[in-house]
Chain A
Amino acid sequence: MAPILDIQNLYKSYGSTEILKDINVSIEPGDFLVLVGPSGCGKSTLLNCIAGLEPISGGTLMIGGQDMNDVSPKDRDIAMVFQSYALYPTMSVAKNITFGMKVRGVDQATQDKKLAEVAQQLQIEPLLKRRPGQLSGGQRQRVAMGRALVRDPKLFLFDEPLSNLDAKLRVEMRTEIKALHQNLGASMVYVTHDQIEAMTLATKIVVMKGGVIQQIGTPAEIYNQPANLFVADFMGSPAMNLIPAKTRTDAAGTQLEIDRPGGAPIVLTDTRARDLPADVILGLRPEDIAEPGYRSGETVQQADCKVEIVEPAGADTYVVTTLGGKLVTARLHSDTQAAPGVNHTFAFDLGKVSYFVPETGERIA
């Protein structure tokens, strides 16, 4: 099928400042694309470019196979949900939802029918007569979604729609958006700075930094094979452990030598890695550092390390130690015996290890 959204070599600059550099993304119908990155990375600007609210400085942007360079927002067949909801303050909820149809001259019967459908779908029927000012944050969010849903567009755009909600509501609405996407099968582009939102919602993630795409991939690809140190550090909570190591290759595999404070360096052997440079940065997710009893297999090796901090988090306990001059977090079970200041045996599972070049930060395939 033709991509619903196809962006080629897109550039965007304000004066001499380049905000977006050489953006190439395309999504298939039904995809849920999440643009994620720290503030100022250009993700919202990219969304505004897709919506047509900002002109692009170079490249092409196609929606549904049509070039959108000179098409105004209203003719792009998109709907957008904003961070501040942007509900029209003087209109009732019903009027807010039907405003787009009214402007486009849709007849009253169709308006009423669509309004009823959407209100039922989002369970906002009792609110239809109220003004936005009389609604709670979560209710406003629903109305903003309703305004987008009623349009039934080719493409939904979400600009950090959950960041104004409190933590509990945010998780609830996240689930609802996911359910909505599954039920509608609609194509969506979603901007967030929250990597957990990105992981849970996306079928495809774009990680951005400084106006440049760092990596495009499925949540699993981004999580397991980060393209560089930035992506490795940004995605996942707690962050991936990035440990400097020296390598030595022999017949058995590659030995990784990692400095350990107050003792000999620990040596881990990766039987699969070949041809690594002398210095690498080792990327290990906290869940790949476990307690000996819980992990086994040929990729698992044990080593003793001095525990510095123990952080119980309910289901898991995060245990922090120092390796290679960096704080390293291990995700252990809540019944762990690890205690601060005492040596503890950890099982390092190199099955999902990533290697990066220290100078460039790029992944070694």
Chain B
Amino acid sequence: MTDVPYSPARQSSAGKVALRWGLYLILGIFAVYYLMPLFVMITTSLKSLEEIRTGDLVSLPREVTFDAWAKAWSGACTGIQCEGVRPYFWNSVLIAVPGVLISTLLGAVNGYVVAQWRFKGANVIFALMLFGCFIPFQVVLLPMARMLGLLGMAGTIPGLIFVHVIYGIGFTTLFFRNYYVTIPVELVKAAKVDGASFLRIFWSIFLPLSIPIIVVSVIWQFTQIWNDFLFGVSFSSAGTQPVTVALNNIVNSTTGVKEYNVDMAAAIIAALPTLLVYVVAGKYFIRGLTAGSVKG
């Protein structure tokens, strides 16, 4: 009985290995497929125009040159101006950083109130804010333009910050509310008995607890605001356009020979900050998204 030629265990373990390799192969193919455009962008941006015209789209550059990057940064023309994406990149920074910070802070305060200081109508207000998340950008364009005009902020960077904060509050409130709802109400009660005020409780107890959800909110809002094109193109004027609008102008308004390498470099520059935010904070992003579901 000891000498059994047929071993089902071994068979299935061989099958498992095959399955595993098959899985990796499929995943590998998808990864290559997904990364292909990025590969083409990077290689193209490092080639000279001459090489692009004569060479293959997917081949590596014969001679690496950063001329296209330099031109995209500070020399490419958007219409009549030839300053590259640099001034617009800084416009985007000036819009995104305050926009992210203000909308995150307001979302945190809103979420704290809606989740922990249940007042009459708290649910209705939260539902309305949630509804704000589902309103398409296009719907608010005209009313928003009118409002910015009335406030004297049309075509300015503060105007764009304002628009993004308004549009972001729905999302950030949702994030923080769902996070704070898992925190026992007794914590607020204890702090009240201890003598802490509304803002003191928020500042000393809730904010220190909120790091994971702050990261989520910052990544979400930064990506939204940085990548936004529609608001950027609608509510900016000549000097206040964000980088996404400038990129469009560079790509669409070149005359003569199309400088693919410059276009690619400009596109990568425009996408770099969001990429960076994900790489730096991505780990916390996943952790923050699932943080509400499991209590410590």
Contact = CB atoms under 8 A, between A and B. Distances in A.
A binds B: yes
Interface of A: 48, 51, 53, 72-74, 78-80, 82-84, 86-91, 99-100, 103-104, 133, 147, 151
Contact of B191 (A48, A88, A133, A151): A88
Nearest to A48: B189
A99 B184 contact: no
Interface stretch (B27-35, B171-179, B194-202, B226-234): B194-202
Given A53-B189, A82-B186, A84-B184, A103 B196 contact: yes
Given A86-B184, A90-B205, A90-B208, A100 B194 contact: yes
B193 A78 contact: yes
A74 B194 CA distance: 6
Given A88-B205, A89-B209, A90-B208, A80 B184 contact: no
A89 B194 CA distance: 15
Contacts of B190: 80, 82, 86-88, 147
B195 A103 contact: yes
- Chain B, interface SS category: helix
B208 A103 contact: no
A133 B208 CA distance: 14
**Which of B189, B191, B192, B200 has most chain A Cβ within 10 Å?**
B189
A151 B189 CA distance: 16
A133 B184 contact: no
A16 to B, nearest CB: 15
B123 interface: no
Interface residues of B, number: 18
Interface in B255-293: none
Contact of B192 (A53, A83, A88, A151): A53
A80 B188 CA distance: 12
B237 interface: no
Contacts of A133: 296
B249 interface: no
Given A83-B186, A86-B187, A103-B200, A74 B209 contact: no
Given A83-B186, A86-B184, A90-B209, A99 B192 contact: no
B204 interface: yes
A147 B193 CA distance: 11
A103 B201 CA distance: 10
Nearest to A51: B193
Given A99-B204, A103-B200, A88 B195 contact: no
A80 B193 CA distance: 7
A84 B186 CA distance: 7
Contacts of A91: 208
Given A51-B193, A88-B190, A89-B296, 8 more contacts: A73-B192, A80-B189, A82-B186, A86-B186, A88-B187, A103-B197, A104-B195, A151-B194
Contacts of B193: 51, 53, 73-74, 78-80, 100
5 nearest interchain CB pairs?
Answer: A100-B194, A74-B195, A86-B190, A90-B208, A86-B186
Contacts of B197: 103
Nearest to A104: B195
Contacts of A51: 189, 193
Nearest to A81: B190
A50 to B, nearest CB: 11
17 contacts: A51-B193, A53-B192, A72-B192, A73-B192, A74-B192, A74-B194, A79-B193, A84-B184, A86-B184, A86-B186, A86-B189, A86-B190, A88-B204, A99-B204, A103-B196, A133-B296, A151-B194
Contacts of B209: 89-90
Contacts of B184: 84, 86
Given A89-B209, A90-B205, A99 B194 contact: yes
Contacts of A83: 186
B199 to A, nearest CB: 11
Contacts of B194: 74, 99-100, 103, 147, 151
Nearest to A99: B194
A89 B291 CA distance: 15
Interface string B110-121: 000000000000
Nearest to B211: A90
B179 to A, nearest CB: 13
Interface in B113-134: none
Interface string B208-232: 1100000000000000000000000
Contacts of B191: 88, 99
